[in-house]
Amino acid sequence: MLPAFPAPLSESVGAAATAGLLLLGAWWLSHRVRRDARGSGRRVPDRTDETRPDGGTQASRLTRLRAALPYDPVRWLTTVNHRDIGMLYFAFALVAALWGGTDALMIRTELITPGATVWDEETYNALFTTHGLTMLFFFVTPAFTGVANYFLPLFVGADEMAFPRVNALAFWLLPPSLMLVRAGLVTEVFGKMIEAVGPRIPVLFLLEPPATGWTLYTPLSIAIENPQIDLMLLGLHLSGIATVLGAVNIIVTVFTERDPDVTWANLDILTWTLFTTSGIILFAFPMLGSALVMLLLDRNFGTTFFLVEGGGPLLWQHLFWFFGHPEVYILVLPAFGLVSLILPKFAGRKLFGFKFIVYSTLAIGVLSFGVWAHHMFATGIDPRLQASFMAVSLAIAVPSAVKTFNWMTTMWNGKIRLTAPMILCIGGVGLFIVGGVTGVVLASIPVDRVLHDTYYVVGHFHFIVMGVIAMMTFAASYYWFPLLTRRMFDQRMARVQAYTLVLGVLVTFFPMMFLGMDGHPRRWASYAIAMDTNPLWMYLHWVATVGAAIIGVSVTLWLFNLVQSARIGAPVTTGDPWNLKETGQFSREWEWFEEQLEERRRRTTSGFEDE
């Protein structure tokens, strides 16, 4: 059994380590700027310069600093170009994913031992709260919005998104949103850094990490007096506004900015899924925003929307899950679109049953609003209502199954190339089948009452989220890497990473299914008392933790490969790096890329300095 870390000691060590990392990062950045300036032969203007040869004014200190940096920060802070904003979304989603992933590894570390011996219960509760919120609101949604920003105008033949400034505004609302949700940790780290070299500033220690759970169930989320909860609600509300702005932009772009050659009949499958997703967002996120405002009023102004005297705690659950279950499809439909786009490219065949996949996407969009109460079968709502929601929950499996059969049929008799994106597509479809089938079981009222709030639910949900959603973000990063960076990644390392990721997901979440069927409740920091009757629980948690470590290694491989390849990878010299022309699947974004390469060659040969 591991010894419990004394809280003050562990916090001080953590703060000192963070301060050290920040100082190291600042030194590295300064060193890199100086080295790049010397290596590129650029001349950094001297302070003594009074006038330029062309008679212009002297460059300011800020201008000289910008000239010395490898990337111009002002450009990235003020850009309204859809591709730049797409890249900003990707960078933001990566930071959030690494942050939320660290939470997950800390959760699994705690569950190695039956008792709460690594982190205390309060810290554990905060970890699964921030892990859920960060991954759902600040990783997956921004990642797919980034895909929409970068590629949707290319797919529909538009020069830009319909509202470029609104587009930029939607992105720049996200960083403060994330900071508000996780303000407690940020202010605590700053407080400890200052305390290490000077006075203690009490106000920096007022906020405690939120321990409400990511569903924010009342009355707990009303009763907790931690002011961090209010900041978290404001942050979530702000992220909802950003998401709705992005969705409006996508819908208007598809409606009004399409090239005359792009009709509804030949609209590509990814654009169809992004368009449907945006429609769901328009109805779901305002509901969440309204519920968050009511919760803030209950906490701070004495209203009773979610108290027994007023609407009652169940009202929160109805409102939350009316948003919450469509949110699952907001996350998964773009992943379905990526499977439908990428899988045929490496199967050597066009997508089988294109129209049926489009119809099934639209059907999921409509049915997603009729399944929310299956999260509430254990709350005692009217049995007749339960039966109707069970029927709709089972029905929504049909369009999902249509997609799965179409993907499998596309691969049938195809010339499959096991590149990293294809391995992730096949692995994602397989894991989605596991997650989908276990979800159909869970939609049944009797089964749900047995498995409600157990690890079975965690396993099922993560087979969907990690299985197909995260898997397709990795696949897309490989598929479009040559287009984004003009360099090719290390394909052998990528294949190893893809297999490792599939293995890690299986090893992590299969044990959770067995834990849940054995009655292990989720959200327990300690299961020591139950070990007398369920001695296998600890070993299953060990297996799941090993799986989480494998996922961590896989993500590290992916990050290392892409960063190194972006720096020193082999330059891409053709607009068709995946040989898509052979099977007639050379799509619009690659046509655009080929034109860009040709323009680059023309500028180089004509003597113009390349940008």
Are 434 and 506 within one domain? yes
pLDDT-based confidence at residue 139 (cuts at 50, 70, 90)? very high
% the chain with pLDDT above 90: 66
- 89-121 confidence digits (pLDDT tens): 999 999 999 999 999 999 999 999 998 888 888
pLDDT, residue 117, reads 87
- Tell whether the model's pLDDT for residue 520 goes beyond 80: yes
Is 208 found in the same domain as 262?
Answer: yes
Question: What DSSP letter does each residue of 471-532 carry, written as one string?
Answer: HHHHHHHHHTHHHHHSEE--HHHHHHHHHHHHHHHHHHHHHHHHHHHTT-BSS-S--TGGGG
pLDDT score at 548: 96
Token digits for 202? Answer: 């009490």
Question: In the 3-class helix/strand/coil scheme, how is 318-374 assigned residue by residue?
Answer: HHHHHHHHHHHHHHHHHHHHHHHHHHHHHHCCCCCCHHHHHHHHHHHHHHHHHCHHH
263 with 158, same domain?
A: yes
Q: Residue 22 above 90 pLDDT?
A: no
Residue type at position 559: L
For residue 607, the model assigns a pLDDT of 64
At 3, the pLDDT band (50, 70, 90 cuts) reads very low
Domain boundary among 217, 236, 267: 267
Separation CA 518–CA 487 (nearest Å): 49
pLDDT at 59 exceeding the cut of 50: yes
Q: Is the pLDDT of residue 223 over 50?
A: yes
In this predicted structure, what is the pLDDT of residue 200? Answer: 82
Domain membership of residue 570 (yes or no) is yes
Question: Do residues 131 and 103 make contact, with C-beta atoms less than 8 angstroms apart?
Answer: yes
If asked whether residues 289 and 385 sit together in one domain, one would say yes
Write down the residue that tokens 């959030």 correspond to: 96
Give the CA diameter of the chain.
85
67 band by pLDDT with thresholds 50, 70 and 90: low
Q: How sure is the predictor about 505, in pLDDT bands with cuts at 50, 70 and 90?
A: very high
pLDDT for 220 equals: 92
- Residue 384 in any domain: the answer is yes
Give the range of the structural domain holding residue 556, as residue numbers without chain letter. Answer: 414-598
Decide if pLDDT at 602 tops 90.
Answer: no
In terms of domains, do 181 and 257 share one? yes
Whether 32 is in a domain gets the answer no
Predicted confidence (pLDDT) at residue 362 exceeds the cutoff of 70: yes
- What confidence tens digit (pLDDT) does each residue in 157-177 have? 999 999 999 999 999 999 999
* pLDDT over 60 (residue 33): no
Domain end: 267, 301, 330, which one? 267
Confidence of residue 20 (pLDDT cuts 50, 70, 90): low
- Count of CB atoms situated within 10 Å of the CB of 338: 27
**Closest-CA residue to 574 (of 605, 604, 595):** 595
Residue 527 φ then ψ, to 5° = -125, 25
Coil, helix or strand for 571? strand
Residue 589 has pLDDT above 70, yes or no: yes
* Average confidence (pLDDT) over 225-247: 94
pLDDT of 551 strictly over 60? yes
Tokens representing 180 are 């508000």
Polymer length of the chain: 611
Domain assignment present for residue 54? The answer is no
Q: What is the pLDDT of residue 36?
A: 54
| Residues 450 and 475 grouped into a single domain | yes
* Residue 12 covered by a domain: no
496 lies in some domain: yes
Tokens of 223: 């009763």
* Chain centroid to CA 555: 14
The residue among 441, 478, 476 whose CA lies nearest residue 460 is 441
- 56 in any annotated domain: no
Q: What is the mean pLDDT of the chain?
A: 87
Interval 295-308: pLDDT, tens? 999 999 989 999 98
Task: Using pLDDT thresholds of 50, 70 and 90, give the confidence band for residue 5.
Answer: very low
Residue 47 — pLDDT band, cuts 50, 70, 90?
very low
Say whether pLDDT at 444 is over 60.
yes
Same domain, 254 and 302: no
- Decide if 497 contacts 419 (C-beta within 8 A): no
Residues 391 and 454 in one domain: no
| Residues 6 or more apart in contact with residue 326 via CB below 8 angstroms | 280, 283, 284, 368, 369, 372
Q: Are residues 449 and 570 in the same domain?
A: yes
- In sequence order, the 6+-apart residues with CB closer than 8 A to the CB of 72 are 66
Q: How confident is residue 1, by pLDDT bands cut at 50, 70 and 90?
A: very low
- Give the other-Cβ count within 10 Å of 199's Cβ: 7
Q: Give the CATH number of the domain where residue 547 resides.
A: 1.20.210.10
Residues 211 and 293 in one domain: no
Report d(CA 115, CA 7) in Å as an integer. Answer: 16
> Domain check: are 456 and 323 in the same one?
no
- Residue 259 to residue 467: CA distance in whole angstroms: 35
Q: How far apart, in whole angstroms, are the C-alpha atoms of residue 413 and residue 409?
A: 8
Total number of domains constituting the chain: 3
- Indicate whether 290 and 262 sit together in one domain: no
In a domain, 464, yes or no: yes
Q: Report d(CA 540, CA 507) in Å as an integer.
A: 10
> What's the pLDDT band for 2 if we cut at 50, 70, 90?
very low
User: pTM for this one?
Assistant: 0.87
Looking at 215, 236, 267, the residue that finishes a domain is 267
